[in-house]
Structure formats: structure tokens, C-alpha cells
Chains A and B, each alone.
Chain A
Amino acid sequence: MDEHARTRLAGWLTGAAGMPVLITRMTLLSGGAIQQNWALDVTQGGTEQRWVLRTDNATVLSASLPRPAEFALLQAAFAAGVAVPQPLFCCTDPDVTGAPFFVMQRVAGMAQGHRLARQAAGMGGDRALAEALGRELARIHGIRPPRPELAFLGAPPADPAHDFIARQRAALDAAGTPRPVLEWGLRHLERTAPPPPPELVLNHNDFRIGNIMVTDSRVTAVLDWEFAAWGDPHADLGWLCAPCWRFGNRSLEAGGIGPRDAFYRGYEAVSGRLIEPARVAWWELAGTIRWAVIAADQAARHLSGKERNLELALTGHIVPELEMDVLRMTGALHA
């Protein structure tokens, strides 16, 4: 962001805050493949504030929500008592910094997946954090349709399981690369699909270590709301428990952090909902396939020449190990 963009940004923030905002420091926190997060130190009406500015990178995933929608989700989550950074201002005018952005409070904590997983493994599994993750997810699932301010999410699916299968098949067809193992997994899902759940909730859809800020086994913030959608609550439970999100700690089934029962206990205590283990298993396989389709899509962006990027290129090479998980979960490895 150049000097002119920063000057325009300070002017816009002053208008949004209704008092003078001066930018004292601005540094790129993470150059994610999809979004950019900037640490933004300001004085607002003379008081020092530590904010984060989140904006789009060049690569935008087709499945990902635009920044104003993510801002609305943060507002809903904040109001529901979910640990999220307090959302402050949202700018839809691309002329201020070059792309829409929003500003939120900066939260302390550590989000690096591999470091958190290493810490948890070092203590033989972190039950307290696994339970805390369950409680936090239950609070997210307290947000239920209909919600007029979240109208951009569209109507809730009548049958989340079959809706999921249809979407993944459409994505595979659009990508054009034949992937028989993912087809095998999707067909298994089709044969074993659970009926529609008794109630639909807001799924975060990327609730896993790496997107969650943690301090001392406590959740300080749930980040990255760009994939949120209405769905079966077991979809988020399965995503966190899927083998691909255990960061090498395959035996710590709740996100590579702790035992599954601790995570489930935290979730059930706050949600008052009983988890159906078979439904979680179904969504674990679904999540593994979904991640494989996203990973293949990221590599396709690199291959298309639209976004030449080594990280995107290497993400495609995650697909084979996800396929190994798909075969294991469908019982095909020792058939």
C-alpha cells in the first residue's frame, strides 16, 4: 500500500470513526494466498489503537465471500458472544485502497497451526483447549436462520448432504481434471448420506487450528469467516476432526489438539445438542474431499497463469495424501 493509499485510508477512517484517525504504523501481518491482513496502529481522537485491516489479495477463491459479507458475519458472531475480533469499520469503495476492506480490533494470541499442534503433542494432548474449541463452535452454531442481515448467505439448503455432493461434483466437472478417487469418495457419501438434520446452523466452514487464535489453552479469536454458510452442525465438527487438519498429530483426533471426547463434551455442554458420531464421520470424509477440491483449485489458478505462485502450486500436491485419507475412510485400502 503506497503513501497515497495510506493518506486516503486515514481520511476514510477519520470519516468512519467521526474523529481524527492518524496512522502511526502499518505492516503486512500475513500474505495469505487469498487475503491480506495488515497490522494497523493508529491514534483515534488522540488514543492509541491497535487494529487489523483485512483486504483481498489478487487471488480470490470463487467459493469465498467478499469482505463486506465477512464483516457482517463478524458482527453477527460478536453479538452472539463468539470470541472474534470486534468488527469496527467496513469500506466497500475500492478507490480508497484499491480493494474493499474492513477494520477490526487486533487480538492477542497465536494462530500458527504447526506450533499449536506441537505444543499440544508435548503435553500429550491439550484437553482444556479441545473443550474450549467445542464450546466456541457451539456458540457459533447458536446463530441460526433466518437472519435478514446475513441474506447474502442465501436460503438454507433443504438437504445439506446431497447439496454438498452436488456442489463438489459440479466443481470437479468445471475443473475438468478426472479425479477417480474423489469420485469414489463422493459416491460413498451418496450411498451413506444422512437425512437432513433437525436444525440448521451457521457453519464457519473453516473452523480448525490455523484459523483460531489461542492463548494459554483459551480461544481468543476465531478468524477467517469467508466460507461461512448455513448447514448441518456436524459439518464443522467433522471438518475440525478430519485427519488432514490434525497437523501431524493423527492420534489427537480433535484438530491435532486433544481427544475427540473432550471436544464433543465442550460442544454438547454449550449447545445442548447431542452429537451424532456417524454424522460427524460422514462430514469428516466430506471435509477431506472438500479440501482436496479446494487444493486442486488453488493449483489450477497457478497453472492457468492467472496467479503464478509457488505456494498455490505446491498446494496441489496435497491432493494425493487427501486421496489416501479418502480411500482409508471408505474402506478401500484393504478391500
Chain B
Amino acid sequence: MLERPDGPELLDTAREVLLNELLPHLPEAQRFQARMVANAMAIARRESMADAAPALAELRALLREPEAEPAALLAQLCTEIRAGRHDPGTPNHAAVAAALAALVRLRCSVSAPKALGR
């Protein structure tokens, strides 16, 4: 329906121009900024491909809140964790740990994919 190249494809191409063609001509003081711009573009590119649905479904099932909005869901989880309701020895401890791990892997896949390989 929309024209290609699409957003992710344009970000890829624009980032290549920035890093390969513009950056070498920049004074040292501006190179850091150009690398930050390239980093921001890469994050935006990855975010457009990220699918939060599976991690959210896992959390909704765990907290028995099938309709909850993401922010409300996370706020409830925070309250429960702080109150000690998912401490070691509680029934959902391992399931909550697994859901948090899935959430963090998703977050890292956008913000810091290198952290996934550690």
C-alpha cells in the first residue's frame, strides 16, 4: 500500500551514507555526534522490527490480566515484586524470572543487541 523503500530500508541506506560518505569529511569534534546519529538511526531501525506481543502475552497470562494495557501491566508487576510476592519459594518465582528475561531480551534486541550474545 505504501511506497518502498520503506522506513527501515531508508534508515539503512541513510545510515550508510552518513557513516561511509559524510563522516570521513567531518572534523574530529563532530564525528562523535555523527556516530551518535548513526546509533540513533540503528535503534529506530531495530525498533521498527521488534515485536512486543509475545512478551506482553506472557506477562498478561502470568498476572491473569488478559486486557491490561502494557503500562498498567508493568506497574502491577512492579508492585508485586516490591512486595515480595515473587520471591524465591513463591509459586510464580521461576515464571516471573522467565517473563522478565523475555522482556529484557526484547528490550536489548532494540537498544543493545550486543548484550544478547553475552
Specify whether A and B are partners.
Answer: yes
The chain A residues found within 8 Å of chain B, CB to CB, are 169, 172, 178-181, 183-184, 186-187, 191, 250, 310-311, 313-314, 317-321, 323-324, 327-328, 332-333, 335
B49 contacts A by Cβ under 8 Å: no
Mind listing 6 A-B residue pairs with CB under 8 Å? A180-B74, A184-B86, A187-B87, A310-B33, A320-B111, A335-B101
> Is the CB–CB distance between A181 and B112 below 8 Å?
no
The chain B residues found within 8 Å of chain A, CB to CB, are 33, 36-37, 39-40, 43, 71, 74-75, 77-78, 81-82, 84, 86-87, 93-94, 96-98, 100-101, 103-105, 107-108, 110-112, 114-116, 118
Contacts of B116 in A (CB 8 A): 324
With CB as the reference atom, state the residue of chain A lying closest to B81: A183
> Is the CB–CB distance between B78 and A324 below 8 Å?
no
Q: Of A178, A328, A332, which contacts B75 at CB under 8 A? A: A178
How far in angstroms is the closest Cβ of chain A from B11? 16
> Is the CB–CB distance between A179 and B112 below 8 Å?
no
When chains A and B are docked, how far (Å) is the Cα of A320 from the Cα of B111? Answer: 7
> Is the CB–CB distance between B84 and A181 below 8 Å?
no
> Is the CB–CB distance between B100 and A178 below 8 Å?
no
> Is the CB–CB distance between A178 and B111 below 8 Å?
no
Known: A310-B37, A332-B101, A335-B93. A178 touches B107 (CB 8 A): no
How far in angstroms is the closest Cβ of chain B from A166? 12
> Is the CB–CB distance between B115 and A320 below 8 Å?
yes
Known: A180-B77, A183-B82, A187-B82. A317 touches B43 (CB 8 A): yes
Interface of A is mostly: helix
Known: A318-B112, A335-B93. A327 touches B78 (CB 8 A): no
Closest 9 CB pairs of A and B: A320-B107, A335-B97, A321-B115, A178-B74, A317-B111, A332-B97, A321-B112, A178-B75, A320-B111
With CB as the reference atom, state the residue of chain B lying closest to A169: B82
> Is the CB–CB distance between A335 and B78 below 8 Å?
no
Known: A178-B78, A335-B101. 5 other contacts (CB 8 A): A184-B81, A184-B86, A250-B118, A313-B40, A332-B100
When chains A and B are docked, how far (Å) is the Cα of A98 from the Cα of B112? Answer: 38
How far in angstroms is the closest Cβ of chain A from B45? 13
When chains A and B are docked, how far (Å) is the Cα of A187 from the Cα of B80? Answer: 10
How far in angstroms is the closest Cβ of chain A from B74? 4
With CB as the reference atom, state the residue of chain A lying closest to B93: A335
Interface centre among B43, B74, B101, B116 (most CB of A within 10 A): B101
When chains A and B are docked, how far (Å) is the Cα of A311 from the Cα of B43? Answer: 14
How far in angstroms is the closest Cβ of chain B from A180? 4
When chains A and B are docked, how far (Å) is the Cα of A281 from the Cα of B4? Answer: 51
Contacts of B105 in A (CB 8 A): 324
> Is the CB–CB distance between B82 and A319 below 8 Å?
no
When chains A and B are docked, how far (Å) is the Cα of A310 from the Cα of B41? Answer: 12
How far in angstroms is the closest Cβ of chain A from B35? 10
Interface centre among B93, B96, B107 (most CB of A within 10 A): B107
Q: Of B37, B39, B43, B103, which contacts A180 at CB under 8 A? A: B103
> Is the CB–CB distance between B118 and A180 below 8 Å?
no
When chains A and B are docked, how far (Å) is the Cα of A267 from the Cα of B107? Answer: 37
Q: Of A181, A310, A318, which contacts B104 at CB under 8 A? A: A181
When chains A and B are docked, how far (Å) is the Cα of A183 from the Cα of B82? Answer: 6
Contacts of A333 in B (CB 8 A): 97, 101
Known: A178-B75, A183-B82, A317-B43. A324 touches B104 (CB 8 A): yes
Known: A178-B78, A180-B74, A184-B100. A317 touches B112 (CB 8 A): yes
When chains A and B are docked, how far (Å) is the Cα of A250 from the Cα of B114? Answer: 13
With CB as the reference atom, state the residue of chain A lying closest to B73: A178
When chains A and B are docked, how far (Å) is the Cα of A318 from the Cα of B112? Answer: 7
Contacts of A172 in B (CB 8 A): 78
> Is the CB–CB distance between B108 and A180 below 8 Å?
no
> Is the CB–CB distance between B40 and A327 below 8 Å?
no
When chains A and B are docked, how far (Å) is the Cα of A327 from the Cα of B110? Answer: 18
Q: Of A179, A318, A327, which contacts B111 at CB under 8 A? A: A318
Contacts of A327 in B (CB 8 A): 97, 100-101, 104
How far in angstroms is the closest Cβ of chain A from B84? 6
